[in-house]
Amino acid sequence: MKPGYTYIMGSHTGTLYIGVTSDIYVRVQQHKNGVFEGFSKEHGCTRLLYYEAHETILESIAREKQLKGWRREKKLNLIRTQNPTFKDQAEQWGWKFITVHEKMNP
């Protein structure tokens, strides 16, 4: 079974989105490019605020369900343990995400 990640994306207005993926790099780029219709795109959740790796995708799904049941303040405190300044963690990966706009207008 594949490993997985549970992650929290945020918008510039403070909206949080919790998700699961087997490839954190691809999924974050998808969020930044607005690939999927739905909550995260509608609310502009394009900043990776928190993520954690799990040995299996099933563990990631269980963790996602747990986090979604938490109150907002508890989620914010969890983010602070890894990211006290709430910066986009993907910016620290050492490579630049190419957005759909940049692809169309090089």
> In this predicted model, what pLDDT tens digit does every residue of 40-69 receive, in sequence order?
999 999 999 999 999 999 999 999 999 999
Q: How much of the chain, in percent, has pLDDT values that exceed 90?
A: 74
- The predicted structure's pLDDT at residue 95: 53
| 102: pLDDT strictly greater than 60 | no
At residue 76 the predicted structure's pLDDT band, cuts being 50, 70 and 90, is: very high
| 13: pLDDT strictly greater than 70 | yes
At residue 19 the predicted structure's pLDDT band, cuts being 50, 70 and 90, is: very high
Nearest Cα residue to 100 out of 51, 41, 50: 41
Distance CA 83, CA 52 (A): 12
| Report field, pTM of the whole predicted structure over 0.95 | no
Domain count across the chain = 1
CATH number of domain containing 98 = 3.40.1440.10
Distance CA 51, CA 43 (A): 19
Mean pLDDT for all residues in the chain: 88
Q: Please give the residue range of the domain that contains residue 18.
A: 4-104
